[in-house]
Amino acid sequence: MTRGSTVTELSLSRPSARPIRRPSPWNGRNGVLAVALLLVGWSLVRAGLLEGELVNAGGWVLALRFGRAALQPDLTPDLLSLTLHSTLITLAYAVCGTALSLAIGVVGGILSSEVWWQTVRASQGEGGLVAGGAPWLVVRSLLSVPRAIHEAIWGLIFINIFGLDPVSGILALGIPFGAITAKVFSEILDETPRGALQALRAGGAPPLAAFFYSLIPQAFADLLSYTFYRFECAIRSATILGLIGAGGLGYQILLSLQSLRYEQMWTFLYALILLCGLTDLWSARLRWRLSLSRPLAVCKVTDGEATAGPNDRLFRSSLWLALGLTLFSFWFIGARWELLWAPRSGQLFREMVATMFPPRLELAFWRELTVSAVDTLAMSILASAVAGVGGMLLAFPAAGAAWLGGGAEDAVGWMVRPVAWFTRGLLLLTRSIAEPIWALLAMFVLFPGLLPGAVGLGLYNLGILGRLNAEVVENLDERPTRAIQAQGASRLQAFLYAVWPRALPRFVGYALYRWEVCIRATVVVGLVGAGGLGRLLQEQLVRFDYHSVSATLLVFFLLTGLVDLGSAWARRLLR
């Protein structure tokens, strides 16, 4: 070997002398954090945190009285009878609304899914009617309009057309929930593996038959899971409709609150919490029995017990229960469906549409709309911050010992379980009580404005985010935590390096999703005096000022779109 070759080999094998550069702190994730902190600070200033008095000192007496009443609910026979009747009304509205939304969601979900139109194109050939187009985008765009309007606003609109008839409440729940269900169903179908569909097509099965016999059975468990979630949402929304005259638990809670009869109010609240809790248990039990990670057609036996399949006893019992509950609810609610085609209803609808266009265009009015829109945005940011941070903190105690690592359940389970059950009960309480009721309670000690609305939205979404985040923690793979503990790391170190980094992205993703929901729900707390676009919209509907209503809805659509774009931008940078 020559001297030159030796030098060359040595130079090639020498490691690079360039220092390793640390990543710049100015990255996308830190940028999102900085923007979030700036928005929260701006929202606090907008809510008047630095101006004047926010707390009503005299309201603490009422707040303490309300808290003591929780230990002394009114259990007299007459009130219990009224509670049972009101609970049945709320349940009937929720069941009827869910049934209508499910009918809309199934049809709309199939028609707005890309895989359906690809299958239709295959059945017609490349020269078919839908070849070369994107009809699912058209259907999704049409469904985005009813989805953007909150069910409470739909309720006020239908009350002006059909009056205080149960048909107004059922339509107010069914139409927006149906549009939301259709969107989610279409996404589930599009994300379902298509191997079985392609196999059936390769075997000569007709395209549409292959679609229904391959994708639907695979996606059934996910579709069923979301249907239960939508039913839980319908129960809470039926309570909101009670605040605007639909009756049920929401109406009774509002009357008790206005008359300061807190013992009676807690009786109705406990009934609502029990109803939501039973629905949660039924949903969790059925989803576990159906083994969501497996196709419905597969029936696996574990420990001698079937855990999936349409022949499962719980599954069949649930189907019969759902059918009986639906028939009973439609009979019990007594909606006058003839109002849908009554001449007077059609006349009122045409008059309302005619008076909505053109929207009101005065410059002073649009200035007022802009101020209200800014207030609505600030309210949603504060609510999302409260719910996001609180949901992260409560997720771990609600998850029990799932995040403590191997062996923790045996060692400290006797301490963790009571904390987990207490935290889950607290989260159930916060998400069982609707946003406007929380806002009304916040007005005990806070002056009307953005802050009580943000508190009401934040507490309600805290219960939802806490539950979702707890499920994230429970579903984390335990092997990284066990591995780092096997190397001698403490539980705190294992949490900081193996649990928190994996859970945080999901936490942030859920928080951003709930921000999109909060911006729509600000309308509801505005109806009870919390400010923003909701307060303006209520005043306009009461005055039958539909020119102003159309302008306000237009601003609300624009604001919702802005928040959706901002949320999508943040999620993209955080990936």
pLDDT digits (tens, 9 = 90+) for 210-254: 888 888 888 877 787 778 878 888 888 888 887 676 778 888 888
Q: What is the DSSP letter of 93?
A: H
Written as six digits, the tokens of 168 are 């107004």
What number is the average pLDDT over the span 540-569?
A: 82
pLDDT at 306: 40
SS3 305: strand
Say which amino acid occupies 527: L
Mean pLDDT: which of 202-206, 228-232, 270-274, 566-570 is highest?
A: 270-274
73-87, 159-173, 421-435, 464-478: least confidently modelled range: 464-478
Structural domains in the chain plus CATH codes: 30-57+360-575 (1.10.3720.10), 76-356 (1.10.3720.10)
* pLDDT over 70 percentage in the chain: 84
User: Above 90 in pLDDT, residue 3?
Assistant: no
Q: Are 265 and 73 in contact (CB under 8 A)?
A: no
pLDDT at 203: 81
Strand-pair partners of 305: 302
pLDDT at 290: 62
pLDDT bucket at 20, cuts 50 / 70 / 90: low
Is the model more confident about 455 or about 57? Answer: 455
pLDDT at 330: 93
What would the 3-class secondary structure string for 388-433 be?
HHHHHHHHHHHCCCCCCCCCHHHHHHHHHHHHHHHHHHHHHHHHHC
Written as six digits, the tokens of 506 are 């999901």
pLDDT at 23: 60
What number is the average pLDDT over the span 153-179?
A: 88
pLDDT at 294: 45
25-34, 267-276, 464-473: least confidently modelled range: 25-34
User: Above 70 in pLDDT, residue 532?
Assistant: yes
pLDDT at 80: 93
User: Above 70 in pLDDT, residue 129?
Assistant: no
Q: How far is CA 367 from CA 354, 360, 372, 519, in A?
A: 24, 12, 9, 20
User: Above 70 in pLDDT, residue 28?
Assistant: no
Sign of CA dihedral 370, 376, 382, 387: negative
Say which amino acid occupies 294: R
Is the model more confident about 267 or about 396? Answer: 267
Degrees to nearest 5, angle at CA 480 with 476 and 485: 120
Q: Are 380 and 513 in contact (CB under 8 A)?
A: no
What number is the average pLDDT over the span 173-189?
A: 87
Q: What tens digit of pLDDT does each residue of 459-470 get?
A: 999 988 888 888
Over the range 78-88, which residues count as b (16 or more CB within 10 Å of their CB) and which as e? ebeebbeebbb
Q: What tens digit of pLDDT does each residue of 410-422 get?
A: 555 566 778 888 8
User: Above 70 in pLDDT, residue 333?
Assistant: yes
pLDDT at 22: 63
pLDDT at 127: 41
User: What is the rounded CA–CA span in Å between residue 279 and residue 141?
Assistant: 32
Closest C-alpha to 385, from 42, 50, 36, 54: 36
pLDDT at 84: 94
Degrees to nearest 5, angle at CA 27 with 396 and 21: 110
pLDDT bucket at 302, cuts 50 / 70 / 90: very low
Question: At which residue do the structure tokens 């994996």 appear?
Answer: 502
User: Above 70 in pLDDT, residue 74?
Assistant: yes
Taking each helix axis from N to C terminus, what angle separates 408-432 and 363-398, rounded to the nearest 10 degrees?
Answer: 150
What number is the average pLDDT over the span 375-394?
A: 90
pLDDT bucket at 492, cuts 50 / 70 / 90: confident
SS3 551: helix
User: What is the rounded CA–CA span in Å between residue 568 and residue 284?
Assistant: 30
Looking at every residue in the chain, the average pLDDT score rounds to 79
pLDDT bucket at 11, cuts 50 / 70 / 90: very low
User: What is the rounded CA–CA span in Å between residue 230 and residue 271?
Assistant: 19
Distance of CA 144 to the CA centre of its chain: 16
Helices (H), 165-261: 166-191, 195-202, 207-241, 249-258
Mean pLDDT: which of 16-20, 41-45, 214-218, 302-306 is highest?
A: 41-45
pLDDT bucket at 24, cuts 50 / 70 / 90: low
